[in-house]
Amino acid sequence: MKNRKINIFATLTLGLIIALAGCKKDDGGIRSSVIINNVPAVSTSIESTGSQSLDLLNLSGFSGKIQVSLYFQGATPPDKVDIVVRKNGSSSNVKVFKKDITSIPATLSVTAAEIATLFGAPIALGDSYDFAPDLYVGVKKYEAFPASIGTQAVTSNNSGIQAYPGFSQFARFAAICAYNPAIYEGDFVVVSDAWEDFAPGDVIKFTKISNTQFSFLNINAVKPLPIIVNVNPLNNQVSITKQLIGTEWVYGPTYKDPFMSVTASTSSVVSPCSQTIRMDVVYGYVAGTWSGTYPLILKKK
């Protein structure tokens, strides 16, 4: 047992000597021989005075403004930046928008025509375009949207800096069909009605109330009342607060105080590009609510 203890001690001592032999006096958390580049955090956002999205119904009116600035004031800026743009979140589809910007903060303007020319394709509904800087520090380039793991990425792409208040990794312009109240007034043709109050081809008149509301009548109610439709212009979802639509259904006097409601959802929406609307309607009367929702789809005449 004594010899075994001596052998163990000798082995541990030899290992310690070998380990110490590999150390240098400048070793610490980071060895002095390791070169670390100071890569600044650069925030890129959409300026509030410019267009916030690409409205397919008015692409010529798009005037985007991109603000590029140092997140930490007083930090050493990069030697220069290139502003690049990524389409639809794909790091394999990145184009250079502006090269060799040497002064930060900087504000850049962009038009829809420039974006379409850059990618060689028309802007389509659902497209998104992310603008961000490639940073140059010394002889090294740090990409905003690296195409591969082996490519050096801008440090501001890591999750830590993204969580900082007010930091924006990129400026994203999404292609949408913005709500236009002028479209949703006048005659609309019924495409389909799961409730079967209306037949395909029936015409319903929409009346504008405000820039986010319009109304129509359900002629299948006795003494019909205006049904008010609310539109959320931020996402084009529509809703109808539960409301009476007349004194009774035409089905018979038993069906008094008929009502309709629509809950805002991704399926109950206006689609300004196609000039259509879909509403998943809940129906009921004084005795209660009929189960399920019944899509009503209309298109402008």
pLDDT tens string 100-153: 999 999 999 999 999 999 999 999 998 999 999 999 998 899 999 998 754 555
Burial 167-194 (b: 16+ CB within 10 A, else e): bbbbbbbebbbbbebebbeeebbbbebe
Contact 186, 298 (CB under 8 A): no
**pLDDT tens for each residue of 156-215:** 444 445 657 778 899 999 999 999 999 999 999 999 999 999 999 999 999 999 999 999
pLDDT score recorded for residue 1 = 39
For the chain, domain boundaries: 42-176, 186-300
Check if CATH label 2.60.40 holds for domain 42-176: yes
Amino acid at 91: S
User: Which pTM does this prediction carry?
Assistant: 0.71
Topology classification of domain 186-300? Lipocalin (2.40.128)
Q: Do domains 42-176 and 186-300 have the same CATH topology?
A: no
**pLDDT tens for each residue of 154-170:** 544 444 456 577 788 99
> How many CA atoms does the CB half-sphere of 275 hold within 13 Å?
13
Torsions phi, psi for 30 (to 5 deg): -135, 125
